[in-house]
Structure 1
């Protein structure tokens, strides 16, 4: 009998105790606001991962016959918002989204601003010709073509094992 704990009842809502008192709900919301301060907002690319350090676009790298094709979805951006550079075997895609909206209706003014920047670095395969990289941007999709250097050494080779 000593290992049984008596059951107790509570007037508090077990599912959502913060709804019992409006002041508690307000305090919870204010606490959440301060906890989120400094963290990036939900990704401007549609992925709401609050644990990420900064929003980054997803990229896809495809090996084609004479080149690699890298694509990145960047909705809401224009080609003027995007910077692409290459250095030390890294391709860097960076950009910034700025959006401002203002509406006036029957004496009310609604103004909303959203800002966000990103930086994504991709290691280039060793056979990419840095001078043969081109980029195009259409309908929110960035396509970077990475031409292969035909004179680059083979990327892999078999190593024979000898006697020690």
Structure 2
């Protein structure tokens, strides 16, 4: 059975997709199709992680005099995380590396995991950048920002004049 599907660009003619096992390996076709797909769209690499990985989930709660932002960061420690504030944007970023070497019988097992993330949050106009505090406890990052009581007074109406 042969299907004709246009997987490549619109200007290229459809290529036949073969469903038969080759050399007795039932997964050969699947591997070749995945390889062909990566040849078309490009191979995944480290630059794609921010486009593919889901964004860091946050909760932002407004109280009478503060904003509280929480994020779950399991396994992260304070030195794995960076919180910055510039031009009304709070940035939470982090990097986690884990390396483990184990000897199992006569075999050395080496495992490495690496991950990084970043999330920008536009803060409300009345958030006071001079009074921000961040803490992590049991994998939950909590950021408290005080509200600026004078923020409302900095807003002024501009009269529009008729020419």
What TM-score comes out, normalization by structure 1 length?
A: 0.69
Given the superposition, is the C-alpha separation of residues 73 and 127 from structure 1 closer, same or farther in structure 2, using an over 3 Å criterion?
Answer: same
Unaligned runs of 5+ in 2: 2-17, 157-163
Instruction: Tell me how far apart the structure 2 counterparts of residues 125 and 109 of structure 1 sit (CA, whole Å).
Output: 52
Q: 2:154 & 2:20 partners in 1: Cα distance?
A: 62
TM-score (norm 2): 0.70
1:1-164 matches, within 5 Å, as 10=1, 20-21=21-22, 22=25, 23-28=28-33, 30=35, 36-38=43-45, 52-153=51-152
Q: What is the CA deviation profile of residues 126-161 of structure 1, one whole-angstrom value per residue up to 9, with x for unaligned ones?
A: 00110110011011110000100111116999xxxx
Contact 1:96–1:118 (CA under 8 A) maintained in structure 2? yes
Question: Unpaired segments of 5 or more residues in structure 1?
Answer: 1-9, 11-16, 44-51, 158-164
Closer/same/farther in 2, CA of residues 114 and 123 from structure 1, 3 Å limit: same
Backbone CA RMSD of aligned residues: 3.4
Q: Match for residue 14 of structure 2? A: none
Shift in CA distance, 106/29, structure 1 to aligned 2, threshold 3 Å? farther
Compared CA separation, residues 28 and 104, structure 1 to 2 (3 A): farther
Q: 1:17-71: CA deviations, max 9, x gaps?
A: 768342334434555777552167889xxxxxxxx44453111110112101000
In the aligned structure 1, how far is the partner of 2:93 from the partner of 2:99?
20
Q: In 2 relative to 1, CA 57–127 (structure 1 residues): closer, same or farther, beyond 3 Å?
A: same
State the SS of the aligned residue for 1:27.
Answer: helix
Counterpart in the other structure of 1:7: none
For the Cα contact (< 8 Å) 1:129–1:149, is it kept in 2? yes
Aligned partners of 1:39 and 1:53 also within 8 Å: no
> C-alpha separation between the residues in 1 aligned to 2:109 and 2:48?
20
